[in-house]
Each structure stands twice: as C-alpha cells, then as structure tokens.
A and B are shown apart, each in its own frame.
Chain A
Amino acid sequence: MTVLRTRGVESEAPLPFAALHRLLRPVLDRLDDIAAPQAEALRAAFGEEAGGAGGAGDRHLVYLATLNLLSEVGSDHPVLGIVDDAHWLDDASAAALLFVARRLEGEPVALIFAIREDERGAFDAPDLTTLTLGGVNAATAAELIADQAADLAANQAAAPIAASVLAELVDVTDGNPLGLLELSGALTPAQLAGEQRLPARLPLTERVERAFLDRYRKLDSSAQTVLLVAAADDSGDPATVARAAAALGAPEQAFDGAEESGLLGVSEEGIVLRHPLVRSAIYGAATSSRRRQAHRALADALSGTVHEDRRAWHLAASVDGPDPDVVTALDETAERASRRGGHEAAAAAWTRAAELTLDSHARAQRLLAAAAANLAAGRHLDTELLARAALVDADDPLLRADLLQLQGQVEWNTRSLDDGYRIVCQAATTAAPHDPARARILAMLAAALASFGARSADAPDPATIVEAPAPDAAPDQVVAGHLLDGFTAVIRDDWAAAATALRRAWDTPLPPSTPPLLHANLAIATMHLGDDERAIRLHDRQLQHARDAGAINMIEHALTRGVVFRIATGAWSEAASAAQEALLMDRNLGLHELAAFPLAELAVIAALRGDPSAPQHLHDLDAELEQRPAHGATLGLVRGLHHWAAARQLDVTPATALHHLQQIDLPVARWLTALDRIETAVRADRPDLARTWLDELTSFAEGTDMAWAWATVHHARAVVGDGDAEENFTKALEWHAQSPRLPARARTQLALGEHLRRHRRRTDARVPLREALDTFESLGAGFWADRARQELRASGETARRGANLVASDLTPQESQIAALVRGGLSNKDVAARLYISPRTVDFHLRNVYTKLGITSRTELAALAHDPT
C-alpha cells in the first residue's frame, strides 16, 4: 500500500495548495501519466510552472488532476492518503481534497481526514463518513500514564496514581490520550497520589496548553525565543528558524534547550512541534510586539529565497501600520496566486495589502481585486463584504462602477435578479458622465437582464443612461449600442425594432479582442427571436472556447443555453445529453444553485417526447425547486420550462394544463410554448385566450419575420378556426420548410393529416401522416409517433411497427457515459468531460454492459438508440 501524508498547519500563510503539495510530492513523478492539461494545471498550482494559457488558472483542472494522479498511483498499489488537522488546511487544498473524497467510487484509493471537534475551520464535509473517536478507558489510561512515567523515570520519580485522580483525569479528558499524558505529566507527585487538590477545571484544550506553557516557562529566554520563532514559522525549515532566532539573539545552542524540553523536535522532515497546541500555547502567550519581532525575523531570514509568499505574509504580520514595501510584497503574492488558480489566496493577499494601504483610492483598487478573486473562487459572501468595504472609500466613479458591477453579479446570481439589475443600472449611471463606452456596456448588461424579466421601480430605463455610439465608434461599441437597443425593444414588446437592432448587432464584424461579456450577450440575444441556427452556432463556439480554457461556469452556461434551441429544433438526444452533462457537472462540482435549469430542460424533453420517465423528471425538478427556489438570471426560463413540462404530462386535463401555461410570462418561454398554449386554450374552452395569444404571436411574427413564428401563426389560425383549415396548414408547412424546427413541422403535418382524414380524404391524408411519423420516430417522440400511427391506420394504411425502444434502467451517470462512449469518446475523454476519473468511467461502463447484456464498446455503439 502507498501511504501519503499531509497536515493542515495553523500558522500557515494562505499559500494555495500548500498542504496538497505535501501530500502529492512523493508521487509527482507520475504526473506524465495523466492528461497533459491537468498535469500542467497541477504543476502551475504548485508553482513549478508558470500558469500559462489554456486552463492552468482553472482550479477544477487541479482537482481533476489530483483525482487522476491518485487513481493512477492506485493502479499499482492501493493508496491511503492521511490528512491530519484538516481544519487547518489552506482553502484551496481543502477544496481539492474534498472534491477527490467525494468521487472515489471504484478507486483503490482511500482518504482519511482527522479533524479536531472544537475547531471551526474551512473543512466542512458533513456528507463524508464520520468516525467519532472515543477516549480510552481507565485501565488503558493507567497503562499509558505508567508507560510515560517509566520513560521519564530517569528525570522524574514514577509516582503511584490514585484511583480517584485517574477517574478524574479520564473524565476531564474524555479519555483523550494526549490530554491524559500532558495533564498527568504536569501534575506533581502529590497531586497524582491524591494528596493535593487538582487544579481548577478548565476546558481540555486550555488545560493541555497550560501544561505545555508551564514547561515553556521553565526554559531560559533563548530557548523560549527558538520556540516562539518555531511557533510563528510555517515552513518547518531548521535553517530559516535558526537564522531568525539568531537575529533575535538566540545562539545555536538554544536549540538544544528547546529540544530537551520535548516541545520541539528536529527530524528529517524538519522542525516538528510536539503538538499543534504547543504552537497555539506559545504563540498565544507572547505579547503582540514579541510576535511582530518573530515575524520580522522570519521575513528577513526568508529574504532572497524562493519563499517570497511566506516572506510577504510574515512581513504583513510584522508591521503595526501601513507600509508600502509590505504592500508591494503582498501584491506580488496575490498576482502569483492568481496565476496559479489560487483565487482564495489571491483574495487574502489583496485584502491584507488593502488593510495596509494609506491612500484610499489605491486601497479601494486592491479591495476590488480581492473581491473579483473571491468571485472567481465562487465565494459570493466574501465578494460582497469586500465590495461594500471598498465602496466606502472609492471616490473614482469608474472604480465605483466596477465595484457595483461585482455587487450586482453576486446579487443576481445568488439572490434577487431585480436587485442585481438595479445595481447594474446604478453602475452604468455612475460611469456614464466619465466613460460613455464603459457605461454603454453596463447599460447593455442591465437591459439584457431586464429582457429576461428583471424589473425595478428604482432603476432608470437602461436606454436613457447613455447616448448612442457615434457611427465611427469602435466595433464593440457599435455592437453594444445595437444590443442595448435590441434588449430594450424586447422589454417594450416592440419586435420589429428588436429584430432590426439585434440583427445589426450580429452582422457587425468584431475583432478577436472583443470582451467575452459582449460575445455572451450576442449569443443570449438569439433567444429573443428564436434564431435557432445562429444560437446553436454561437453557443457551440462559446462551448468550444470554454472547454479549451477549462472554464467551468462558461461550459455550464453554453451547454444549458444551447439546449433551449435544441429543444425547439428537435435535436432532443443532443439536448438531453447536454442537459445531463450540465446537471452532472453542477452536482459533481457542488454548483447546486445552477441545477434547476438543466433539470427543467430534461423535464421538458421527456414531456415533449411523451416519455414514460416524464413524471419522474418533473418530480425531480419539483423536489429541486422546493429545496432551492428558482432565482437569478434563469428564473423566468426555469419557471417557463417548469410550467411547460407540467402542462405536457400525459394525464393532465386541459384545464390544469391551461392553468400552468397561463403562468408563463417571459416572452422567450411564451414563444417556445405558443402552439401548446393556443391549442390548450381551445381545448379548455377558452377561445378568448386562444385569440389573445394568437394576436400576440402574430405581432411577433410581423415584427421579426421569423419563419417558425409565421408557421405557428398559420397552424394556430387553423386551430382557432380562423379561415380555411387546409389552407392554413398548407401555408404553415410552407413556412416550416424555411425553419429548422422539426417537431413543430411534424405536428403541423399530423394536424393536416388528421384534418384530411376527418374529411374522408384518406389517400391525401397519408402523405403528411407518413412524414410526421418518420419525424416523430427519428425524434424518439413515442407519444406523438403513436398518434401518427393511429391516424395512418385510420386512413387505411397498415402502419409500420415502431422501433423497439428498450428501457434498461441505467442511472443518469451510466446513461450519460454510455451516450458519450457511443459518440466515440475514449474513457479518458469521457472522464475529463464529466469531472470523474477514467477508472470511475470504466466502473460505470461495466455496469452498463451488464445491464444491457453486452460485452464491448462495439456492441454499445451498434445499438440503435442511446440506452436510458
């Protein structure tokens, strides 16, 4: 078995991945066995390589590298990773190790974390199996104490211990072996024998600390200096501690005294304090000026070494007020950490640098950098605290605009879309008089939020915040201007203006340097017109960039947005696969707040197909929304998809379905569901509603001239009995021929076939019915295919039997893996895509084979449909 060890160190500076580095150091020679981008990310995280282009700055690649490295090492011998004092791990290491611990399925790898019960720390993992260690019993306690007494017999007479004292020691320490030894070691023979009273009761930690401190105080002052420096040090490097102690007047021999006390040992691993409580006891007993001296001496001892980050943190602890040199050192530390993907460490260093900066503008800039680093680390609350602190100081309007943008982003991501929108409007208004170009981008962002449902009585109309760009302005400004016009027209339901402006934005060529925010909004704008082909192209491009860069949030964003359009065009297998991938990613990476959107998409796909699993998908979505109510920028879409899926369950009455469909308010979702809404209103005997919704859709079609919209208008006219039905269906099919929305086309073909069959034109009916059946079968839409087949039979055609779909009871992870393997991906590629290890892929794949009764990838690839 390979045993790897690390521990959290309380005094450790916020160095990203320091504890992880210690754990993996013995096996880093195996890094070449894992995928190159992951190996590169891990090397960059450990500071062995500059974080270059690509995904080196993405922490999830570091996590995945850790998992796969341990998995590789485990392929030789089982691996046991021991993480002591996990409550003191640096944040980045804790996050990486928890990520690994949660996905060790099928791996010959085990991780054990030891945590002190009374220590609150960053290590929060209630989901891991917990073993609470009880204490030893009185008999064992007596043995332990006797052993220690024998060890010390040379310099301390072994004293007999009274039963009552033993019982009390076991009681106050809960049988904690260290507590027993330290307390009994600190008692006088008379106290042990029960002849003198024991000291007053104290909590165990404090008692043990006091016992250590008693020993410390008996030492001469130079040995005490060595121990204080060792307590303030976090490197364990004897040379560093010796240099620092010497600078404080402790000669080399002082080490001997410190070692003889048993509080400190020097081994191959360097300087080791007897116990973490030695550190807290000695450090805590020193005055703050003594502590500062120790840190200053350590910083000086590290000067000129590679330990620049440690040095910066010691310097920061050594000053009693603002100091430009210390601030410079911390800035550099923050920048290094940021390049390595250590966002928490970068945030900590910039925060500390700000606290030591006298100039208020420079201070606010550092707080902005710290807040942005926290946002990159997904720490929304800390982002907000720092942005708020910075806003107290920041006078510069552009700096304030940046801070407000961050605050707004936290708000719309985690809480209220409306408040987030109001704050972004404020950012745009603040920037407008000073930098119209910056203000225009912010106003565009605000308008985009409003076009997805954000409203605020306190916010100005984004269109009025800044003037239109000059005709000769830079292309990104021209595009921002068009997008702003387009989004604000959407808010006014002015579809002609929206279509004109958005098309101008899409048609304007942009240089490669264009900021991602603009590209993201160009892509999202396609949703308003239902411009599916452009939407899929732009989101796929975004997805490719995001995958290349390993940018998790962007991958999730591009995947889930792309699904909406694939639902419309009927690329339902791809849509389900992408939604499933996004969902697994959200779950595997702990991004639970994003999970409702892909769940809603899966529920809609299952409902549209009339799949037997549709009620289960809807139930999963309901359960998710109960736990985490929909919020933020996807609120309107999630709500719309949720009601759509509920309305399209097979067993609902028209009245219930209508009740759901009436609650869809976001225009994007209204257009997606337009035909269902109008059909349901007619069936529920609400022709008035059907008419209103048809008028709404007609004005959209007139404004945008989108082929799918006109097709739907004509189909719906037939449904509400407006004019000749056959003529309407035929016109609808003419428009459908120009639209990529296959399911809508097949529904019109089915409706036309039904109409003709009812009018006894059975031969004419068969043509559209056959086309509809072909489409529904290729979409895997079982319910619709059955309907088309019934109609065909009624029209006198002996319908083919449907393709044999076999449900095989795969778990979502298994069916996702099966689909990706069928798509030609290797196990390694599947693993990288799903943030699991190749061995776990193999483990699931073997289950898939068993459940499907097959034995190879070739057989899996030869299946007619993706197994579910």
Chain B
Amino acid sequence: MMHNTPRTFVGTVVFRLADPPSAEVGEPIERHVGALPGVSSCDFDEAAGLLVVTADAPVERADVLALLDHLGCRTTR
C-alpha cells in the first residue's frame, strides 16, 4: 500500500509519536485531533509517547497524520 492509500477507520487506533512532545503540546493535539469529524475521544499519553484516537464514525487516517504533521509531530510506523 502507498502511504496515501485511503484508510478510514472506526474504533481505536494508537499512534506512536516520534520525539514525544511535551505536555503543553499534548493539550492542543488532543483538542485538534479530537475536533476531527468522527473522532469521539483523543488521549495523549505523555509518558508512553502515544496518542490514542477513538472514532465512532469513519475517520481518514491520513487526516489525523496531516493534522499531527501540521502540529509539528511525526509518527513512527
């Protein structure tokens, strides 16, 4: 699959953030990702460097990644 192959999801997906951002950055990440249509909750686990995104309606994975990229966070595979 290409990195931009369409990939919608429901349920929970955990993203591992490279160079985990600090807690101050965590709040805007949760706010912005949490505001994506379909996303029902978004929790940033600072200690583990993980972003836990739960969707109750389909969300495009690329939209989450683009938003994180915009906020200056890289994810690792």
A178 within 8 A of B: no
Using A319-B8, A355-B8, A385-B16 as known contacts, say yes or no to A392 and B2 having CB atoms under 8 A apart. Answer: no
- How far is the CB of B2 from the nearest CB of chain A, in Å? 5
B58 touches A321 (CB 8 A): yes
- How far is the CB of B20 from the nearest CB of chain A, in Å? 14
A262 within 8 A of B: no
A358 within 8 A of B: yes
Most buried by A among B4, B11, B14, B52: B11
Interface size band for B? 20 to 34
Chain A neighbourhood of B50, CB < 8 A = 385, 388
A673 within 8 A of B: no
B:31-73 near A, CB below 8 Å: 50, 52, 54, 57-58, 60, 62
Using A288-B60, A388-B52 as known contacts, say yes or no to A11 and B2 having CB atoms under 8 A apart. Answer: yes
A385 touches B6 (CB 8 A): no
Q: Which of B2, B7, B16 contacts A355 (CB 8 A)?
A: B7
- How far is the CB of A648 from the nearest CB of chain B, in Å? 42
Chain A neighbourhood of B2, CB < 8 A = 10-11, 279-280, 283-284
A320 touches B6 (CB 8 A): yes
A188 within 8 A of B: no
Using A388-B52, A389-B52, A392-B52 as known contacts, say yes or no to A357 and B5 having CB atoms under 8 A apart. Answer: no
A288 touches B11 (CB 8 A): no
Does more than half of chain A's interface fall in helix, strand or loop, or is it mixed? Answer: helix
Chain A neighbourhood of B9, CB < 8 A = 355-356
A291 touches B16 (CB 8 A): no
Q: Which of B1, B10, B62 contacts A357 (CB 8 A)?
A: B10
B13 within 8 A of A: yes
A295 touches B16 (CB 8 A): no
A392 touches B10 (CB 8 A): no
With A and B bound together, what is the CA distance between A544 and B36 in angstroms? 55
B58 touches A320 (CB 8 A): yes
Chain B neighbourhood of A280, CB < 8 A = 2
Most buried by B among A12, A291, A389: A389
Mask, A1-38, CB within 8 Å of B = 1, is 00000000011111000000000000000000000000
A283 touches B54 (CB 8 A): no
Chain B neighbourhood of A291, CB < 8 A = 4-6
Using A11-B1, A13-B1, A14-B1 as known contacts, say yes or no to A389 and B11 having CB atoms under 8 A apart. Answer: yes
With A and B bound together, what is the CA distance between A641 and B60 in angstroms? 53
A313 within 8 A of B: yes
A332 within 8 A of B: no
4 closest A-B pairs (Cβ-Cβ)?
Answer: A355-B9, A321-B58, A392-B12, A389-B12
30 A-B pairs within 8 Å (CB atoms) are namely A122-B77, A288-B60, A291-B4, A291-B5, A295-B5, A295-B6, A317-B5, A317-B7, A319-B8, A321-B8, A321-B10, A321-B57, A322-B10, A352-B7, A354-B11, A355-B11, A355-B13, A356-B8, A357-B11, A358-B10, A360-B11, A363-B11, A381-B16, A386-B14, A388-B14, A389-B12, A389-B52, A392-B11, A392-B12, A392-B52
